[in-house]
Structure 1
Amino acid sequence: MHRDLSLVADIGGTNTRVALARGTEVLPDSVRRYPNASADGLPTLLRRYLDELAPGDLTGACVAVAGPVRDGVGEITNIDWTFDRDMLGTLTGARKLAVLNDLQAQGHALGLIAESDLTRLLPQPAAAPKAARLVVGVGTGFNAAPVYDTAGGRFVPPSECGHISLPRHAPEQAALAETLVTHHGFASIEDALSGRGFTRIHRHLHGEEADGKAIVARLEAGDPAARETARLFVQLLGTVLGDLALIHLPFGGIYLIGGMARAVTPWVGPLGLAEAFAAKGRFSEFMDQFGIAVVEDDYAALTGCASHLRHLPIG
């Protein structure tokens, strides 16, 4: 196997994808997906992968983690895993090393994602080549990261905005927030806009315990209760995306990633995403400057890791 290879990995709250990359190209035949529950930590999964593929010498290694990263140390929010650059170097023998937040990795992939892998929810107006963009993850958790293209290269600062307070200016949002505070002590955006948040909204509205996939299946079958759940989810998502758009001014577009973003895509139009997004009082007309798209590329975070490595010096 060609020696100019890097290892890239995307560690979500539920599963981990690992692959080899040459330049910014992820090699499709090298991609493996592992349930996180099958291992006691990321080193176990990476050793398993390296044993399976035996890629030989690696020039670089980059992992994206679903959680905060500080000084090269990543903590996965929804499982008790911690990982750092030194561990990555020991495992892989590579000299170009990086640990990113998963939204940072997605941000580094923008511009390398085919248009066919994007579902446009709101049209993207013309924008300057270096206009800021925003990546928003709606899956096992919730987070967002701005993307800035500068003269010195691309800069994607990390964020943990999924853990800020849930909006409650509309009565239905306030009622949901009060329920979440009662049960969890605090109402964060992630408590509602995530896979488990979808089930919490359903329980709040209908007093019924139901799996998220089951609710989506009922939504597809035309069930009114499931539609009511999806409506509150979609409108709350629109409100939060509008808030984030005003904070970051992503004239280059907003890009949604994650399983829940994809799951509700067919319903965002009829259930009022655009209206909730634009409901900003005297700034409502300003909001039509931001396009929104869903990223359908499962390997985007891996591509972002590879792109980031390509621009790193050997350290």
Structure 2
Amino acid sequence: MKLALVGDIGGTNARFALWRDGQLESVRVLATADFATPEQAISHYLIDLGLAPGSIGAVCLAVAGPVGGEHFRFTNNHWRLSRSHFCQALQVQELLLVNDFTAMALGMTRVREHERLQICPGVAEPGSPAVVIGPGTGLGVGTLLSPAEGRWQALPGEGGHVDLPIGSPREAQLWQQLFNQLGHVRAEDVLSGNGLLQLYLAMCTVDGQVPSLSTPAQVSAAALSGDALAAQVLDQFCIWLGRVAGNNVLTLGARGGVYIVGGVVPRFASFFQASGFIRSFSSKGCMSGYFEGVPVWLVTAEYPGLEGAGVALEQHQ
């Protein structure tokens, strides 16, 4: 395969790399706000590497949202894309667009043992699906299926937009406050970077506290420094992540395990390991026993979305 380019484009950052002989090369991270279009960002990346137009044969971009058709509008940033214009502007022969969590799921096939922490013990059941879920700018959810005829499959979806589940009277109080603010409460409204702040503000209102923190980073930093209210917020974040992840396991029969990905949770990995995640993940009443032996890992790999875009491109050829 001719030299290819892979990208993993989020709301804030666009990650690009060359894909050669099944490996990433020359990874760069660019701010989406610095460029008007994805073509401009990729041109900048190629010029920085000294590559001339036409030197790239194919491009695979992992993007947030449903893919299909000539035009694509990015969910979490201002970019838009026309497939034909993109190929013409960058002189590439082929553009493959894949859902970002399709790429993330495929990236799990490349994660090495030292790039994941085991949160729940167990062994992946051969032939069973695995759930890939990750809070970031939004909440991504994907499904990894075992190879069929040597090819991995990943199911795209919009699982971050499911309704936020309620599992206790306390959560019902918090949900009511979130509903008062939002009207409709999705899992992503809590399980994302901005969602963490939203949850903090809701908990302050429910508990009659005056908010003193104004960013998600401040909330997590305060929690890790011993602030009691912030720690409750962060623990509730982990509990809700467990509920949503567990619901996906039941829906999909995902005894192949759960991969927690994204940029949020690895920042407080030790807190997460000791949080209420494990309890809420498997607390499903009469179906709680179903979770025995289902492994959960926290993925710490640096560029799994890029790796997955490379896998998608190779399997597409």
Superposition TM-score, scaled by structure 2 size: 0.91
Partner SS, residue 70 of structure 1: coil
In structure 2, the residue matched to 1:78 is 76
Q: 1:72 to 1:241 in 2, by over 3 A?
A: farther
Letter in 1 for 2:146: D
In structure 2, the residue matched to 1:34 is 30
In structure 1, the residue matched to 2:129 is 132
Partner SS, residue 26 of structure 1: strand
Letter in 1 for 2:272: V
The answer to whether residue 87 in structure 2 is matched with residue 100 in structure 1 is no
User: How far is the alpha carbon of 1:9 from its aligned partner?
Assistant: 0.7
In structure 1, the residue matched to 2:291 is 287
Letter in 1 for 2:258: I
Q: 1:87 to 1:63 in 2, by over 3 A?
A: farther
In structure 2, the residue matched to 1:306 is 310
Contact preservation (8 Å) 2:122, 2:295: yes
Unpaired runs of 5+ residues, structure 1, are none
The answer to whether residue 217 in structure 2 is matched with residue 220 in structure 1 is no
Q: 1:199 to 1:118 in 2, by over 3 A?
A: same
CA distance in 2, matches of 1:114, 1:74: 33
1:22-46 Cα offsets, whole Å, 9 max, x none, are 132001xx11111111122222211
User: How far is the alpha carbon of 1:279 from its aligned partner?
Assistant: 0.6
CA distance in 2, matches of 1:217, 1:176: 22
CA distance in 2, matches of 1:20, 1:114: 20
The answer to whether residue 152 in structure 2 is matched with residue 148 in structure 1 is no
Q: How many residue pairs were aligned?
A: 308
Alignment of structure 1 residues 103-252 onto 2, 5 Å: 103-128=101-126, 130-152=127-149, 153-206=151-204, 207-208=210-211, 209-252=213-256
1:124-162 Cα offsets, whole Å, 9 max, x none, are 31521x331121121110021111134242221211111
| Greater CA drift, 18-27 or 47-56 | 47-56
CA distance in 2, matches of 1:87, 1:131: 40
| Greater CA drift, 272-281 or 86-95 | 86-95
Contact preservation (8 Å) 1:107, 1:145: yes
Q: 1:135 to 1:223 in 2, by over 3 A?
A: same
Q: 1:227 to 1:138 in 2, by over 3 A?
A: same
1:41-70 Cα offsets, whole Å, 9 max, x none, are 222211211222233422221011123323
User: How far is the alpha carbon of 1:72 from its aligned partner?
Assistant: 6.4
Letter in 2 for 1:53: L
In structure 2, the residue matched to 1:8 is 6
| Greater CA drift, 159-168 or 65-74 | 65-74
CA distance in 2, matches of 1:126, 1:293: 11
| Greater CA drift, 237-246 or 202-211 | 202-211
CA distance in 2, matches of 1:89, 1:154: 27
The answer to whether residue 48 in structure 2 is matched with residue 52 in structure 1 is yes
CA distance in 2, matches of 1:75, 1:267: 36
Superposition TM-score, scaled by structure 1 size: 0.91
CA distance in 1, matches of 2:315, 2:89: 22
Letter in 2 for 1:190: E
CA distance in 2, matches of 1:138, 1:126: 22
Partner SS, residue 110 of structure 1: helix
Contact preservation (8 Å) 1:230, 1:264: no
Letter in 2 for 1:146: T
The answer to whether residue 271 in structure 2 is matched with residue 267 in structure 1 is yes
Letter in 2 for 1:289: G
Unpaired runs of 5+ residues, structure 2, are 205-209
User: How far is the alpha carbon of 1:106 from its aligned partner?
Assistant: 1.0
Contact preservation (8 Å) 1:254, 1:293: yes
CA distance in 2, matches of 1:170, 1:75: 38
1:281-308 Cα offsets, whole Å, 9 max, x none, are 0111111232111111121111111111
Partner SS, residue 69 of structure 1: coil
CA distance in 2, matches of 1:72, 1:268: 41
User: How far is the alpha carbon of 1:83 from its aligned partner?
Assistant: 2.5
Contact preservation (8 Å) 1:215, 1:226: yes
Letter in 2 for 1:254: V
Contact preservation (8 Å) 2:138, 2:160: yes
Q: 1:219 to 1:6 in 2, by over 3 A?
A: same
Q: What RMSD over aligned residues (CA atoms) do the two structures have, in Å? A: 1.9
Contact preservation (8 Å) 2:124, 2:294: no
CA distance in 2, matches of 1:144, 1:167: 15
User: How far is the alpha carbon of 1:84 from its aligned partner?
Assistant: 4.6
Contact preservation (8 Å) 2:10, 2:77: no
